[in-house]
């Protein structure tokens, strides 16, 4: 990278992004970011111009979720910045790494109620906000912002005054973003007074119900402590809970191989919603997802006497309020995953601790005796039958991005995840309008990382209208995405919906659109999409249907 101090800050910023392989930025132009916008336009970075800033944040979020790297969006000051709020909040709650560049009025006008000036502390749910002034350290601090977002898995805002873009930046040194947690931990320990880094927790620990903490241990020593834990020694029916934290700092190419390692485990496994597919749900050792939309795994959880948590925040969606005694059974393992070999070491040590073959056989017998539980839970009707048929018709390795609504629940129930990232949704916020723009971000992540999986976007007829303008982004870039609209003319239990003609809307954007009335038409339409090279909208007419209630 050219660190010449004769270059403008904006040019060095774009050089920095290119040097760190930031390949795509989602943006909407505006006056206060125009120098940055033009510089990116003239670079090798793909600049995806969206139709609404909220969508830019959702796209960056989707990009991050599929690649396990940082997604980037760029919006102007004032309304441009305020419009990203919902997208940033969604990424924050779901632990997604995004960096949001926002515009700001020239420095000399700050505090004068200048056009589009607004205090930026309205984004209190961010991990932080870095404000760029005329400073020689801007570029090196932006590097730290990217690292903090990556390692905390949270959104961070970078707010740049317009005049700063033309300033001369004199920062030198290594400007390569660190992606290894241990290297970053060492950096933080050497710079422990840095406000930019003070929220990052870096210690290995075992956290039991008594809040016993053991710090600064290598993984092998770490498991020596686990082996001596009283809960572990007494356990007859242990279970391992995997959350999305197991993805750590792994590349996508490593994430899809975690299953090969986990299948050697000698302990039954359950997962959180976002970690589904980290071990194939067709594997007999995987008992499925626990939590608010778990079924069989929830029943099984009641029979375990030890739940070992690796990578889950144990949110309300995962550990339900009614499970009064579960906290006394949990051991939390806070291990930072830097490379695939870390998981190999973890599995090896687990197998040394839990090496009783009777443990797994007991669980297999329990599963055999309860294998028909799913059939007893659901009475399939029109809506759910059509979702089920859709899932059966698409390739098994497809990436499904759902919006918020009944379709999300039915998709979760019917889809058996055999690969990581098989279902992506706003599982913590339930953000309507998330699905379409997120699927665009996922698609660009697949393009940049050569991920050869179909991108399927399933929406309700309520959520699709909240960011329907992004059909223009799909059409302009000819993105091969299957966009499904489940049209039941109903907003869940709340009210009826008066729908527009989605076929005409799709055609107005130049996207082939088809109406599906019968379950039998779905496969033919999906096959047509798979043979094509562009997007397709399927409007699926269906009757309203109540959601099934999980057994807690």
Please tell me the distance from the alpha carbon of residue 289 to that of residue 318, in angstroms, as a whole number. Answer: 9
Quickly count helices (H) and strands (E) in the chain: 21, 20
Superfamily of domain 205-370: TPP-binding domain (3.40.50.1220)
Tell me which DSSP letter residue 271 carries: E
Nearest to 397 by CA among 491, 277, 302, 254: 277
Q: Say if domain 9-169+177-190 classifies as CATH 1.20.140.10.
A: no
Question: What's the pLDDT band for 97 if we cut at 50, 70, 90?
Answer: very high
d(CA 469, CA 467): 5
Whether 197 shows a pLDDT value over 60: the answer reads no
Exposed/middle/buried for residue 216 (C-beta within 10 Å: 0-12, 13-18, 19+): exposed
Distance from CA of residue 237 to its chain's centroid?
A: 31
Name the E strands within 40-91: 46-49, 71-75
The answer on pLDDT for 89 being more than 50 is yes
Q: Tell me how far apart the alpha carbons of residues 310 and 242 are, in angstroms, rounded to a whole number.
A: 5
Q: Is 321 exposed, middle or buried (0-12, 13-18, 19+ CB in 10 A)?
A: exposed
Residue 417: which pLDDT band, with cuts at 50, 70 and 90?
Answer: very high
Q: How many alpha carbons lie under 13 Å from residue 320 in its C-beta half-sphere?
A: 17
- Cα distance between residue 294 and residue 300, in whole Å: 10
Q: Check whether 549 has a pLDDT greater than 80.
A: no
Residue 316 CB coordination number (10 Å) = 11
Confidence bin at 194 (pLDDT 50/70/90): very low
Task: Give domain limits for the chain.
Answer: 9-169+177-190, 205-370, 378-541
The CB-side HSE value for 298 (13 A sphere, CA atoms) comes to: 20
Query: What's the topology of domain 378-541?
Result: Rossmann fold (3.40.50)
385 or 374: which carries more pLDDT confidence?
385
Integer-rounded Cα Rg, in Å, for the chain is 24
* % of the chain beyond a pLDDT of 70: 80
Q: Express each pLDDT in 461-490 by its tens digit.
A: 999 999 999 999 999 999 999 999 999 887
The answer on pLDDT for 156 being more than 70 is yes
Residue entry with tokens 């375990």: 304
**Nearest CA-CA partner of 428 in 79, 129, 72, 153:** 153
Tell me what pLDDT residue 364 has.
61
> Can you name the residues that pair with 540 across neighbouring β-strands?
486, 516
**pLDDT for residue 186:** 45
> For residues 444 and 153, which has the higher predicted lDDT (pLDDT)?
444
Interval 7-35: pLDDT, tens:
888 999 999 999 999 999 999 999 999 99
How far apart CA 51 and CA 498 sit, in angstroms, is 24
């Amino acid at each position: 990278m050219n660190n010449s101090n004769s270059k403008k800050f904006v040019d060095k910023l774009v050089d920095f992004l290119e040097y760190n392989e930031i390949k795509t930025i989602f943006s909407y132009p505006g006056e206060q970011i125009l120098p940055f916008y033009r510089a990116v336009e003239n670079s090798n970075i793909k600049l995806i111009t969206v139709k609404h800033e909220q969508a830019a944040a959702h796209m960056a979020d989707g990009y991050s979720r599929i690649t396990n790297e940082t997604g980037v969006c760029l919006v102007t000051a004032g309304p441009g910045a305020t419009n990203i709020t919902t997208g940033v909040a969604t990424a924050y709650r779901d632990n997604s790494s995004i960096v949001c560049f926002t515009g700001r009025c020239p420095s000399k006008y700050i505090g004068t109620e200048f056009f589009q000036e607004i205090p930026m502390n309205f984004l209190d749910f961010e991990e932080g906000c870095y404000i760029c002034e005329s400073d020689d350290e801007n570029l090196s601090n932006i590097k730290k912002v990217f690292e903090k977002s990556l390692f905390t898995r949270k959104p961070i805002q970078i707010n740049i005054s317009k005049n700063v873009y033309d300033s001369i930046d004199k920062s030198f040194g290594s400007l390569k973003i660190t992606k290894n947690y241990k290297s970053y931990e060492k950096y933080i320990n050497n710079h422990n007074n840095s406000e930019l880094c003070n929220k990052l927790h870096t210690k290995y620990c075992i956290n039991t119900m008594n809040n016993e903490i053991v710090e600064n241990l290598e993984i092998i020593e770490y498991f020596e402590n686990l082996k001596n834990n009283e809960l572990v020694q007494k356990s007859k029916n242990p279970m391992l809970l995997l959350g999305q934290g197991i993805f750590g700092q792994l590349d996508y190419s490593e994430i899809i191989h975690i299953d090969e390692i986990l299948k050697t485990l000698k302990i039954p496994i359950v997962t959180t919603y976002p970690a589904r597919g980290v071990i194939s749900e067709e594997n007999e050792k995987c008992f499925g997802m626990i939590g608010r939309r778990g079924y069989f795994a929830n029943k099984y959880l009641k029979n375990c006497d030890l739940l070992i948590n690796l990578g889950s925040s144990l949110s309300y969606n995962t550990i339900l309020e009614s499970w009064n005694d579960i906290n006394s059974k949990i051991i939390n393992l806070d291990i930072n995953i830097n490379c695939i070999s870390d998981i190999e070491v973890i599995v090896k040590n687990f197998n040394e601790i839990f090496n009783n073959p009777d443990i797994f056989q007991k669980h297999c017998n329990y599963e055999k005796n309860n294998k028909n539980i799913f059939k007893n839970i659901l009475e399939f009707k029109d809506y759910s039958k059509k979702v089920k048929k859709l899932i059966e018709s698409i390739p098994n390795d497809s990436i499904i991005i759902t919006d918020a609504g009944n379709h999300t629940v039915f998709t979760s129930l019917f889809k058996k995840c055999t690969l990581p990232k098989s279902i992506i949704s706003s599982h913590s916020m339930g953000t309507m309008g998330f699905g379409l723009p997120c699927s665009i971000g996922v698609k660009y992540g697949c393009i940049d990382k050569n991920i050869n999986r179909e991108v399927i976007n399933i929406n309700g007829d309520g959520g699709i209208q909240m960011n329907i303008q992004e059909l223009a982004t799909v059409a302009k870039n000819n993105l091969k995405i299957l966009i499904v609209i489940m049209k039941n003319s109903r907003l869940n239990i709340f009210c009826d919906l008066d729908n527009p003609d989605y076929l005409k809307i799709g055609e107005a954007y130049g996207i082939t659109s088809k109406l599906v009335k019968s379950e039998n038409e779905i496969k033919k339409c999906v096959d047509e999409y798979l043979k094509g090279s562009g997007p397709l909208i399927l409007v699926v007419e269906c009757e309203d249907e109540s959601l099934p209630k999980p057994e807690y």
